[in-house]
Amino acid sequence: MRIAIGGFMHESNTFAPLPADLNRFREGSLTYGDAVIPVWQDASHEVAGFIEGAGAFGYELVPVAMALATPAGPVTDEFFDHFTDALATGCRLARADGVLLALHGAMVTPKHPDADAETLRRIRAVLGPKVPIAVTLDFHGNIAPQMAELANILVGYQTYPHVDQRERARVAAGLLARAVRGAVRPVSYVAKPPMLLNLLGQDTSREPMAGLMRQARELETRPGVLSVSLMAGFPYADVPAMGASVIVVADGDAKLARTGAEELAAAMWSVRDRLNVTCPRPEEAVRQALASTRPPALLIDLGDNIGGGSAGDGTVLLAELMKQKARGFVVVIHTPAGVAQAKDAGIGGRVEITVGGSTGPLHGDPIRVRGSVRSLHVGKWLEAEPRHGGRREHDQGHTAVLDLGDGNLLVLNTHRTPPFSLGQLTSLGIDPRAARAIVVKAAVAYKAAYAPIGGEIIEVDTPGLTAINAARFDYKRVQRPLYPLD
């Protein structure tokens, strides 16, 4: 039994101006053919689960291609056409009995508001209707119902932070192997309650989302149900399929799949008001952090959530910390030009650098900072533990650490890097436990790494491309009515 494996993963923020082109995927991960295996086999990612499945379920691996980039604006049509052609051609030449694909579910291009479904259409077109396809999807996927017509099996992550990617991939791989052998006849159904969930309410450790996940697992125990995936959706994509969904895969029983999916979708709708969480504004949040008796206080910069496609150079919380004369803070800012200045000054040199403002004043005004260069780094590290995103190899580009005085550290990096691993700080010689306050440019995904060392966690309603309040955005293409917009 030959199984082709590959993937194309991007979370596209349609409000973000930075496009995801070839260079963005090269910065992330872009591999073809046999090169896929060494990059991903030891990761906590779904592609690692596909690879592991070969031994567990008795199939021969045929690696095709894998592309991943940090969330940003839409993927360029040029790169999309190139890579989908590589995937489709590779799957055709593999002469495989089945295909395992890692897709995100919230990828957008200028021509394709549902780029994941378009990827599936192109692969299905070259394979024909008989070759089974199993797809893994990010918990934040905006899943269009037609995806269930293009793939036989759809399996989504069920944790946020995403720490079950490899596990869910094994579920998909096992179902595909059984389908190829004729042991099951999987059919999928996608139900979509008309609701948008903000990222804080999507946290799977927080009620009522935690309770909905328990219902999903209970539904999986019913006879004939093969898999259940509750999908929260990605609110920063202005596309028709944006919003929550439920996927049920059943064994040859389309009615069972539909009934189960609609039941869980109704349960989501019943708690919709509790799934949208509010939080304090910057001034109050910083005041709470400085008064906290449980350091380090984590200030969660929701409006500049890099993992949601934001710029990573927001200055709102940095400005407020400086205004309130904070001591002992750590802030990471994406500032390639600042890194170059620090390198020119050298370790111990004094610098005066402007940070922020790459996307205009949306994330705060540019700030002039003064300090000494504490250290310089290449910005690479390995993450041994399962973390959101599942990656093992990390690269934030050349990095400088500035000492601003009063125990305050400003980290400047060259690549936009979500704070999914403590290695982003510890690889620079920074002990996060010793900080008084840490600004974390994320929403929930950081928790797998930061929550164990954090004292008080303070989520902050900051402005930006990933603001937690959906009313800040001008949606034009989503299906209406959509709660809480209507």
Model confidence over 95-115: pLDDT tens digits? 999 999 999 999 999 999 999
pLDDT band at 470 (very low <50, low <70, confident <90, very high): confident
CA 154 to CA 158: how far, in whole Å? 13
The half-sphere exposure of 177 on its side-chain side, counting CA atoms within 13 A, is: 19
CB 198 within 8 A of CB 466: no
pLDDT band at 358 (very low <50, low <70, confident <90, very high): confident
| Joined tokens for residue 31 | 């591999």
Please state whether the peptide bond connecting residue 296 to the residue before it is cis, i.e. omega within 30 degrees of 0: yes
114-127 pLDDT per residue, tens: 999 999 999 999 99
The proportion of the chain whose per-residue pLDDT surpasses 70, expressed as a percent, equals 100
428-465 pLDDT per residue, tens: 999 999 999 999 999 999 999 999 999 999 999 999 99
CA 46 to CA 15: how far, in whole Å? 28
300-323 pLDDT per residue, tens: 999 999 999 999 999 999 999 999
Q: Would the pLDDT of 296 be above 90?
A: yes
**CA distances from residue 186 to 8, 53, 254, 450 in whole angstroms, order as listed:** 23, 18, 9, 39
Strand 60-68 to 2-9 pairing: parallel
Using DSSP's 3-state secondary structure scheme, residue 443 falls into coil
237-272 pLDDT per residue, tens: 999 999 999 999 999 999 999 999 999 999 999 999
The set of residues, in sequence order, having a beta carbon less than 8 Å from that of 103 and lying 6+ positions away, is 7, 8, 9, 116, 119, 120, 135, 136, 137, 141
CA 412 to CA 409: how far, in whole Å? 10
| Joined tokens for residue 122 | 């192109």
DSSP letters spanning 324-388 = TT--SEEEEEE-HHHHHHHHHH-TT-EEEEEE--EEEETT---EEEEEEEEEEE--EEE--S--T
Q: Would the pLDDT of 403 be above 80?
A: yes
Least confident of 222-231, 340-349, 462-471: 462-471
The set of residues, in sequence order, having a beta carbon less than 8 Å from that of 433 and lying 6+ positions away, is 296, 453
CA 88 to CA 30: how far, in whole Å? 16
- The residue type found at 43 is A
Q: Would the pLDDT of 214 be above 90?
A: yes
**CA distances from residue 350 to 331, 372, 446, 473 in whole angstroms, order as listed:** 19, 4, 32, 41
- For the chain, what is the mean pLDDT? 97
Q: Would the pLDDT of 77 be above 90?
A: yes
Report the 10 Å Cβ neighbour count for 224. Answer: 12
Dihedral in degrees, nearest 10, Cα atoms 203, 208, 212, 218: 110
Closest CA to 469 of 443, 441, 448, 440: 443
Using DSSP's 3-state secondary structure scheme, residue 437 falls into strand
pLDDT of residue 108: 98
pLDDT band at 357 (very low <50, low <70, confident <90, very high): confident
CA 203 to CA 24: how far, in whole Å? 28
The set of residues, in sequence order, having a beta carbon less than 8 Å from that of 36 and lying 6+ positions away, is 5, 6, 47, 63, 64, 65, 66
pLDDT of residue 471: 83
DSSP letters spanning 376-419 = EE--EEE--S--TT--SEEE--SEEEEEEETTEEEEEESS---S
H/E segment holding residue 486 = none
pTM of the model: 0.91
First to last CA, the chain: 50
Q: Would the pLDDT of 339 be above 80?
A: yes
pLDDT of residue 434: 97
pLDDT of residue 51: 98
Mean pLDDT of all residues in 15-41:
96
pLDDT of residue 301: 98
CB 156 within 8 A of CB 168: yes
DSSP code of 113? T
pLDDT band at 359 (very low <50, low <70, confident <90, very high): confident
DSSP letters spanning 184-242 = --EEEEEE--SB---GGGG-TTSTTHHHHHHHHHHHHTSTTEEEEEEE---TT--STT-
pLDDT of residue 448: 95
